[in-house]
Amino acid sequence: MVTVLLKQVKEFKKDSIMTPCFMVLEVFMETLIPYLMGRMITNGVEAGNMDYILQTGGIMLVLAAVGLWAGIMGGKHGARAAMGFGKNLREAMYTNIQTFSFSNIDKFSTASLVTRLTTDVTNIQNAYQMILRMCVRAPISLICAMAMAFFINARIASIYLVAVIFLACCLGVIIKFTMKYFSEVFKKYDDLNASVQENVTAQRVVKAFVREDYEIDKFHNASGNIYKMFVKAESMIALNFPVMQITVYSCIILISWVGANMIVGGALDKGDLMSLLNYCMNILMSLMMLSMVFVMITMSMASARRICEVLEEQADLTNPEQPDFEVPNGSIRFENVTFRYNKNSESPVLDHINLDIKSGETIGIIGGTGSSKTSLVNLISRLYDVSEGAVYVGGKDVRTYDCETLRNEVSVVLQKNVLFSGTILENLRWGDENATDEECKRACELACADEFIQRMPDKYNTYIEQGGSNVSGGQKQRLCIARALLKKPKILILDDSTSAVDTATDAKIRRAFATEIPGTTKLIVAQRISSIQDADRIIVMDNGRVDAFDTHENLLENNVIYREVYEAQTGGSGDFDENGGEQ
Amino acid sequence: MAEAKVVKGPMRGRAMGPRPKIENPGKILKRILGYVLKNYSVHCVLVLLCIVGNVLANIQGTNFLQVLIDDYIEPMIGQPNPNFGPLLQAILRVAGFYLLGVLCAYSQARIMVNVTQGTMKRLRDDMFAHMSRLPIKYFDTHTHGDIMSIYTNDIDTLRQMISQSIPQMISSVITVVGVLISMVRLSIPLTGLTLVMVAVMMFVTKNVVGKSGSYFQKQQAALGRVNGFIEERMEGQKVVKVFCHEEKSMEEFKALNEELFDNAYNANRFANLMGPINAQIGNLSYVLVACVGAILALNNVGAFTIGKLASFLTFNKSFNMPINQVSQQLNSIVMALAGGKRVFDLLDEKEEVDEGYVTLVHAKQENGKLVECKERTGMWAWKHTHQADGSVDYVELKGDVVFDDVDFGYTDEKMVLHNIKMYATPGQKIAFVGSTGAGKTTITNLINRFYDIQDGKIRYDGINVNKIKKADLRRSLGIVLQDTHLFTATVMENIRFGKLDATDEEVIAAAKLANADGFIRQLPEGYNTVLTGDGANLSQGQRQLLAIARAAVADPPVLILDEATSSIDTRTEKIVQDGMDKLMHGRTTFVIAHRLSTVKNSDCIMVLEQGRIIERGTHDELIEEKGKYYQLYTGNAIAEG
């Protein structure tokens, strides 16, 4: 996992190496100062040598200045390395996501991809900076202080060694237990928040059934449990600081006693004693820093794992080696096609589909939810790959085409469609970058979008807000159709794309299609029979199979499902006010 | 738009950035502290004592260094037979104090755990309880994400502040004061020198912070742009694929990402200056004090000794540390205040008011008169206590609902319902039809008083609904919402939500009535299957069946049904429809209808348009009228506009 992430350091390798180097230099400077101070006391003050005091003082100032410079440089390179690393991570993830097929995207879900690209990267970026600056610094500082202590007096320094080992063991045990407790608490805590979320979304249900007090009681119980678990976990952490203090205090007491004995015995001078006490503080500080870094790293592990998952995800749909760049016509053929979203799932989503659609035909597709209408059409532009069999467009297997060529010739208006923030024209030009204003207008006229665009204050330059929040559902659908039309595709697929458009406009769009782009093969997936009954032929889907494929009249006569739906919608119990969608 | 905040659990992801501006921070701080002190005043006093104890123990230890060198070591040097007895005693005394200090430190930390977590629990409980009693309007005007963020992010900043920032600030202040006093006692000139260096440190820090602040703002802005772009493009990633826009998308992203990098680098570069500058100014201060102190000791100015110098140097170090800590903690306190403000904003929201006094009671007929009784009789009555003389009337609950010239708007400026007049006699089925946004759902939300009307009257069994206690009013109304919400619990518990004391048999009977029994039995654990994520593993139709069962188990005299528009396949739809029909049988029902069959067997159909009832009557009457209903029915409606 770490290697996958570290690969993204790239051009910031130099900075990543420089940072710890400067930190080490800073540590060296800092470690030398207490030693010189001790010398100054012994050789300067005690010996009464003024020059020595001034001389050593000068050296110390130089050391402090060098330390300052090193610290600043370390900070600078650290910032560059960490921010650069974050930048590269984001870019690498984004690049890899661009290669994802639909099934890769399904696997992650949009919300989780967003979190990974934003919060997770920020976490890692901060952790990386911390590691570069502290992870090297803390142990080096520890080692240096220890080495200096041994250099001054090995006997006293051995007290430190014992203390450090004792402290490390204690901290290790504390961390181990805290980790265990906290991972439990966090899980419960997430559950608690999930239940808050549930209550927020279901507030109307709670109120309608007058269950406020019931839910409050439930919440109190849960929060009480969490309280107990938190107290248990944090009580462990509460040991942290006292344990450190007791170690340091013991050291001070021991050094005072041993040191005093040695000084009196002549084996140590007072300056050395002061240096030693100073190193005691340094050692403690570096240990505290180490435990902090450790916590920080473990906390960012989850983020690291989530980022790696995105980076390591292999696109499961690739361009052929020698792609075909020519789609001869708009005919479509399904040959024994079976399709599963997940290789391991038992029941296929599409089961042995055989279809033959001629170029220029208008085909309606109807069927209940879960009857795999969308899955069927998504195979045509190779948004997913078939599990068995083959799909042919223009007489060639879709897997032999260059993906971009295929998708430009097979234009899909997705069921869950989005517009992007930008002007209407900019959005339309997703279909064709070089489309002229006239061409854009023409496409909008076909999609019956021109009429409402003309009524907007800035017409075609109207700015669409993020998520298309300033256009209605029906307007959005019509813009999406216009955008798809601009590709001038050989095959046009509308996947339930007029559901929010009123029946009259829907009919107008279909009429325009029939007269203006007769050569284009049109596939219309719909819930409403009226949207498809004029089609040349209609596919009736049921449970992943083609139940029937015939004209409206024949289906009405021969197909049970179709007749049922037809009767439900026109006489019996069909959708009633759907046509009110457009306001 | 706010950027998505997806922080789960405490301690994960603390934002670094410019300090947000808050109005009246003192008031919020006072409120937070008040919250803590309310239940934990004794604890807090103890904590304070412990902090003082710990600091004093530390200071006496440092002071001992001087005593050690000057009073014990110096005199003993050169003595042929030094007596270590007094020194041992002194050291043991210091050790004793140290031990007390450590005990104080532990007690403080341990008590704070209870204080913090207890306060957090209370805050959470209060927030949840308060939130549950807020009017629906609150949930209309606040996004779920924003509400959730109060429970996670904002509460977290408070936890940070209570558990760490405040104790550390207090301990820092006490340390500074204690150390300052000790330093003055040791040497006034050296204290002056130390203070000058602290002033320098603060001056430099302030300048650096000022510089980095503007960069941080730029960084936040750039981060906002990148996050916004990411959100939008991830949402539309499939469209990007369909239009083969990957390359272009990459280019746009790279440009934004590069901009973010530049700003983030600059912001952090400046922020990173702080650490080394402070550390080295601290070192500088140390060196200067060492030199000057050495000279003082050499010339024995003001009885300055090496022992004093040793103590002073240690104080010098421990003086700089708390000052650095204060500036660090200040940042998280400011963040906590911003979080605290949002928490208190939630707690300050006005609860749903309920001045109703008519209650719902079980009743039975006795000698031709209605009397109240304890047990469930299947008969209900409104208990109307007259405010004037305290006399009590009982009115049988029948389900007679009258709207008298009702006007309503979500805000006072814009009315969405105008002059609504309608009546439903017990057992009648009233259907509302009309296009989206015509006001169908709004009307039903007025019956159970999710919202209060601006003008007119709604009467329920002849009683103005304003006089009925909301809880009792709602208990008398069963409701099946368009979107089914399920809770993380078993199927059994989810259905029982309708009537908490329902037996298993009652629940199963309700499920059978709703046609839900069949699919429930096919679930892995049957009625004990645990549903999670709002029943994510169920189909739309199955979720609706559960909602119907939930209403069925409540067995209310009046029903409000919002038929789902979402397309479920014809067969499931039939099962759902059948379940609904059984539920409606014998009850006054208001149904927002999307299916013709529902509409057709209604006793009265209200056709709504733009908040007005434009047509009313039975199916046949309305067809005869050849108006809007006829258009809707024949599907030839031409949409306006």
3-state SS track over A64-78: HHHHHHHHHHHHHHH
Domain B401-634 adopts which CATH fold? Rossmann fold (3.40.50)
DSSP secondary structure, A433-456, as one string: TT--HHHHHHHHHHTT-HHHHHTS
Q: Are A179 and A186 in contact (CB under 8 A)?
A: no
Q: Are B416 and B446 in contact (CB under 8 A)?
A: no
CB contact under 8 A, B9 and A71: no
CB contact under 8 A, A502 and B637: yes
CA B125 to chain centre: 11
Domain boundaries, chain B: 24-186+328-351, 359-396, 401-634
CB contact under 8 A, A577 and B436: yes
The backbone torsions φ and ψ at residue B188, rounded to the nearest 5 degrees and listed phi first, read: -70, -45
What residues contact residue A430 under an 8 Å CB cut-off, 6+ apart?
Answer: A420, A483, B239, B243, B245
Q: How far apart are the CA of A466 and the nearest CA of chain B, in angstroms? A: 7
Measured CA to CA, the distance from residue A553 to residue A119 in angstroms comes to 56
**Residue found by looking up tokens 């439930």 in the block:** A218
* Dihedral, B82, B87, B88, B94 alpha carbons, nearest 10: -170
Q: Are A342 and A458 in contact (CB under 8 A)?
A: no
Q: Which residue in chain A is spatially nearest to B446 when comparing CA positions?
A: A208
Residues 574-613 on B with a CB inside 8 Å of A are 577, 593-599
Chain B positions touching A83 (Cβ under 8 A) are: 261, 264-265, 268
Nearest CA-CA partner of A242 in B44, B111, B160, B325:
B111
Nearest CA-CA partner of A248 in B102, B585, B143:
B102
Which residue in the set B144, B240, B287 is minimally distant from A61, CB to CB? B287
Measured CA to CA, the distance from residue B165 to residue B177 in angstroms comes to 18
pLDDT at site A491:
86
Model confidence at A237: pLDDT above 90? no
B301 touches chain A (CB under 8 A): no
Percent of chain A predicted with pLDDT > 70: 94
* Mean pLDDT, residues A4-9 taken together: 79
Q: Are strands A521-525 and A491-495 parallel, antiparallel or unpaired?
A: parallel
Measured CA to CA, the distance from residue B392 to residue B381 in angstroms comes to 12
CB contact under 8 A, A234 and B290: no
Residue B292 identity (one-letter amino acid): V
CATH superfamily of B24-186+328-351: ABC transporter type 1, transmembrane domain (1.20.1560.10)
Chain B positions touching A571 (Cβ under 8 A) are: 596
What residues contact residue B614 under an 8 Å CB cut-off, 6+ apart?
Answer: B607, B608, B627, B628
Measured CA to CA, the distance from residue B314 to residue A567 in angstroms comes to 92
pLDDT at site B49:
93
pLDDT at site B107:
93
Measured CA to CA, the distance from residue A124 to residue A89 in angstroms comes to 9
Total-model pTM:
0.73
pLDDT at site B3:
32
Size of interface A-B (CB pairs under 8 A): 469
What confidence tens digit (pLDDT) does each residue in A476-507 have? 888 888 888 888 888 888 887 777 677 777 77
B243 touches chain A (CB under 8 A): yes
Measured CA to CA, the distance from residue B292 to residue B179 in angstroms comes to 19
What confidence tens digit (pLDDT) does each residue in A370-422 have? 677 788 888 888 888 888 888 888 888 878 888 888 888 888 887 777 778 78
**Rg of chain A taking only CA atoms, in angstroms:** 36
Residue B322 identity (one-letter amino acid): P
Q: How far apart are the CA of B367 and the nearest CA of chain A, in angstroms? A: 33
pLDDT at site B111:
92
pLDDT at site A577:
46
Which residue in the set B117, B250, B283 is minimally distant from A67, CB to CB? B283
Q: Mean pLDDT of residues grouped by 10 in chain B (641 residues)?
A: 33 38 77 88 92 90 84 80 84 91 92 90 90 84 77 81 86 88 87 89 79 77 81 78 79 87 84 78 83 82 81 83 73 80 88 83 80 77 81 83 86 81 84 76 84 87 86 84 80 87 88 84 83 72 84 85 62 74 82 74 83 84 78 50 28
Least confident of A36-45, A163-172, B179-188, B594-603: B594-603
Measured CA to CA, the distance from residue A497 to residue A415 in angstroms comes to 6
pLDDT at site B437:
64
Measured CA to CA, the distance from residue B114 to residue B65 in angstroms comes to 37
Q: Are B473 and B528 in contact (CB under 8 A)?
A: no
CA A296 to chain centre: 20
- The Cβ-side half-sphere exposure at A335, using a 13 Å CA radius, reads 10
Where on the phi/psi map is residue A10: left (φ > 0), alpha (ψ -120 to 50), or beta? left
Which residue in the set A126, A194, A467 is minimally distant from B488, CB to CB? A194
Nearest CA-CA partner of B313 in A146, A60, A24:
A60
Range of A245-254, A526-535, A546-555, B333-342 with top mean pLDDT? A245-254
Cα angle A178, A180, A181 (rounded to 5 degrees) comes to 65
Residues 80-99 on B with a CB inside 8 Å of A are 82, 84, 87-88, 91, 94-95, 98-99
Q: Assess: ipTM above 0.85.
A: no
SS3 B402: strand
C-alpha distances (whole Å) from B634 to each of B563, B603, B621, B628 are: 20, 20, 15, 10
Structure tokens at B173: 């202040």
pLDDT at site B1:
31
Which residue in the set B284, B294, B597 is minimally distant from A41, CB to CB? B294
Strands laid side by side in the A350-357 sheet: A350-357, A332-339, A388-393, A396-397
CA atoms B99, B103, B109, B112: torsion sign? negative
Structure tokens at A154: 């090995």
Q: What is the 3-state secondary structure (H, E, C) of A204-217?
A: HHHHHCCCHHHHHH
Helices within B161-244 (DSSP H only): 166-186, 188-235, 237-242
Nearest CA-CA partner of B600 in B577, B579, B583:
B577
CB contact under 8 A, A72 and B277: yes
CB contact under 8 A, A57 and B290: yes
Q: Are B1 and A466 in contact (CB under 8 A)?
A: yes
- The Cβ-side half-sphere exposure at A282, using a 13 Å CA radius, reads 29
Question: Across-strand partners of A338?
Answer: A388
Chosen for mutation from A32, A121, A200 (greatest number of chain B CBs closer than 10 Å) is A200
B240 touches chain A (CB under 8 A): yes
Measured CA to CA, the distance from residue B173 to residue B156 in angstroms comes to 24
Structure tokens at B241: 């694929």
Q: Are B632 and A576 in contact (CB under 8 A)?
A: yes
**Rg of chain B taking only CA atoms, in angstroms:** 36
Q: Which residue in chain B is spatially nearest to A245 when comparing CA positions?
A: B102
CB contact under 8 A, A102 and B241: yes
Chain A positions touching B94 (Cβ under 8 A) are: 253, 256
pLDDT at site A197:
79
Measured CA to CA, the distance from residue B50 to residue B96 in angstroms comes to 16
Measured CA to CA, the distance from residue A66 to residue A499 in angstroms comes to 71
CA B455 to chain centre: 34
pLDDT at site B17:
40
Structure tokens at B306: 């090496």
* Mean pLDDT, residues A22-38 taken together: 85
